Amino acid sequence: MSAAAKPRIGNLPREEWTDAAREVFAFWGEPDAWENGSKTNMSMTMAQHPQLAIAYNIFGKHLLLTSTLAVRPRELVVLRTAWHLKCGYEWHYHVGYALKAGLTMEEIGAVRDGASAAIWDGKDEDRAVLTAVDELYRDSKLSDATWAMLSRFYGRHQMMDLLFTIGNYVMLGWAAASMGIGVEDDVDMIGFDLKTRSGKPAAATSRPLEEDA
């Protein structure tokens, strides 16, 4: 995906903004979003279907902010899933979130190579998470070996959150690609090569509502 993607559904036109749509705009805490709409194409497109958007956002808020899974593995999940799906929208935003979570640029780059990359030597949890993403994406099920490897690090709730996080971002990648949701034109997009449009280094960014988490 890219900022030039042709929308198939598109952002909700202002003349169709209802209170229900405005609740979607404002869900993630953007200043003035109720009055002026969201700055993100994702929220503005999802506002076409407010009932779906709010239900999905409640689920997404848990995965993003209140999951029992720590932030670092969550960001590894999203980046590896975005790489598989070539979902530029999620890749761009989660590179910034991953940097904020303490991942290095070298580690983020190695996410593209998967669990076999040498950078994960001695980082068994990271390697297990990346392996889980690949297995679910490829086989739709975790192997016994991968389940056992993850169980060294995660309890029951964390395992469940991990599975649903992987599934969520596959679903979101499908939706973004199929609806034609691209990165906003005024955003300094971070590509899969980790270069930005402007040539400036990618920077750490806070997740929506992170201060309230």
Instruction: Report yes or no on 77 lying in a domain.
Output: yes
Look at the chain and report how many structural domains it folds into.
2
**Which amino acid is located at 122 in the chain?**
G
> Looking at residue 3, what is its pLDDT?
42
- Read off φ and ψ for residue 196, nearest 5 degrees: -95, 165
> Looking at residue 207, what is its pLDDT?
82
Question: What's the CATH code of the domain at 78?
Answer: 1.20.1290.10
37 and 93 both lie in a single domain: no
> Looking at residue 64, what is its pLDDT?
86
186 and 109 both lie in a single domain: yes
Instruction: Report yes or no on 83 lying in a domain.
Output: yes
**48 touches 179 (CB < 8 A):** no
Pick left, alpha or beta for residue 102 (phi over 0 → left; psi -120 to 50 → alpha; otherwise beta). Answer: left
Determine the structural domain holding residue 90 and report its residue range: 71-208
**Tens of pLDDT, residue by residue, the chain (213 residues):** 344 568 999 999 999 999 999 999 999 999 999 999 999 999 999 999 999 999 999 999 999 889 999 999 999 999 999 999 999 999 999 999 999 999 999 999 999 999 999 999 999 999 999 999 999 999 999 999 999 999 999 999 999 999 999 999 999 999 999 999 999 999 999 999 999 999 999 999 988 877 544
**65 touches 112 (CB < 8 A):** no
Instruction: Report yes or no on 31 lying in a domain.
Output: yes
> Looking at residue 90, what is its pLDDT?
94
Instruction: Report yes or no on 1 lying in a domain.
Output: no
59 and 136 both lie in a single domain: no
> Looking at residue 31, what is its pLDDT?
94
Which has the closest alpha carbon to 75: 90, 87, 53? Answer: 90
Eight-class DSSP state of 14: G
Has this prediction a pTM greater than 0.75? Answer: yes
Instruction: Report yes or no on 80 lying in a domain.
Output: yes
Q: What is the DSSP string of 183-202?
A: --TTS--B-TTS-BSSSPPP
Geometric angle at alpha carbon 63, from 34 and 212, rounded to 5°: 55
